[in-house]
Amino acid sequence: MKAINYEEERKKNIVIKQLHDRGYHDTKDKSYRELKHKLVIIKELRGEMP
């Protein structure tokens, strides 16, 4: 059970870092799914998605 939580937190931290690098800092109290969705939107708006 701990390994799953660790892996989920690790992935969430990676997404948070990518959001911070793109100037988005409203990451507190957001789920991994919400953060990942926001990252996709930001990448799309900046033309970073193929």
pLDDT of 2 > 70? The answer is no
Rounded mean pLDDT of 15-26? Answer: 97
The residue ranges of DSSP E strands in 1-50, in sequence order, are none
**What's the whole-model pTM score?**
0.85
Residue 18 placed within a domain: no
Rounded Cα gap, residues 5 and 29, in angstroms: 16
Residue 6 placed within a domain: yes
Sign of CA dihedral 11, 12, 17, 19: positive
Rounded mean pLDDT of 16-38? Answer: 97
Residue 49 placed within a domain: yes
User: How many separate domains does the chain show?
Assistant: 1
Domain of residue 37 covers 1-11+30-50
Mean predicted lDDT score pLDDT of the chain: 92
Element (H, E) at 40: helix 32-45
pLDDT of 1 > 60? The answer is no
23 in Cβ contact with 45 (< 8 Å): no
The predicted-structure confidence for 4-17, as pLDDT tens digits, reads as follows 789 999 999 999 99
Residue type, 23: G
